[in-house]
Structure 1
Amino acid sequence: MVSKVNRSEVRRNKHRRLRSRLSGTPERPRLAVFRSNNHMYAQVIDDVAGKTIVSASTLQGDVKDGLEKTNNVEAATKLGSVIAKKALDNGIKEVVFDRGGYIYQGKVKALAEAAREAGLQF
């Protein structure tokens, strides 16, 4: 009998494989992305110290203001620009992009491109 694995389990496996190759350092931290059905979350993480340096999500008022929905490409674009601005304010110019096992299209791609346009390099 064929056992079918659900999507979230496939994503977790992809993310585990990605994380074996990606790691954030103090000089070049990791920009991690997480999507739920209703919101998106982004964190800039120093894996050596095990600390989150900067975080933003569509739950926050500064990101949510002016958005009709919090789970579409428009919200992801705004989140990307907000996380990039916060990272630049903390002196972080270069990051390693961790897509979290998600396919690089749609919301994840919009977040990454908005962060690049706002000044982050990856």
Structure 2
Amino acid sequence: MDKKTTRLRRAKKVRAKIATQKVARLSIHRTPRHIYAQLISADGVTVVASSSTLQAEVKKEISYSGNKDAAKVVGKFIAEKAKAAGITAVAFDRSGFKYHGRVKDLADSARENGLEF
């Protein structure tokens, strides 16, 4: 198996577990250059809020979009949007990525700004 297939296999297992919990899901995706976060409703159909390093308000606060500082800013913005939508408790879907580095910093920043995992 290649690296991407292995990651997607892990992601499928995590998403199956989250689906049984019936809570909103904070899903992330990272590339070497950017990081993206989406808040998906409990039914798994609707994207309630999203944030990424491509958005103008995020770009104003960062110098480079592929580092931990950028991930912290994205975590802060997604938490603010979630609170505005009335969501405080979420399940963290790391999409098969290791809980390390930028993924961990995004999650910690979202927690610090009011989301509960």
The equivalences for 1:45-64 within 5 A come to 45-48=40-43, 50-64=45-59
Correspondence for 1:66: 61
What secondary structure, in the 3-state scheme, does the structure 1 residue paired with 2:87 have? coil
Q: TM-score, normalised by structure 2?
A: 0.93
Percent identical among aligned pairs is 38
Correspondence for 1:108: 103
Return the structure number with greater helix share: 2
Unaligned runs of 5+ in 2: none
The equivalences for 1:39-50 within 5 A come to 39-48=34-43, 50=45
Matched-pair contact (CA < 8 Å) for 2:76–2:113: yes
Correspondence for 1:20: 16
* 1:103 CA drift (Å): 0.5
Larger radius of gyration: 1
Runs of 4+ in 1 over 6 A off after TM superposition: none
Cα separation, 2, equivalents of 1:49 and 1:21: 13
Correspondence for 2:6: 10
Q: TM-score, normalised by structure 1?
A: 0.89
Cα separation, 2, equivalents of 1:84 and 1:54: 9
Q: Which amino acid aligns with 2:68?
A: V
Unaligned runs of 5+ in 1: none
Cα separation, 2, equivalents of 1:6 and 1:36: 17
What secondary structure, in the 3-state scheme, does the structure 1 residue paired with 2:27 have? strand
Q: Which amino acid aligns with 2:24?
A: P
* 1:49 CA drift (Å): 5.4
**Structure 2 residue 106 is matched with structure 1 residue 85:** no
Correspondence for 1:96: 91
Matched-pair contact (CA < 8 Å) for 2:75–2:110: yes
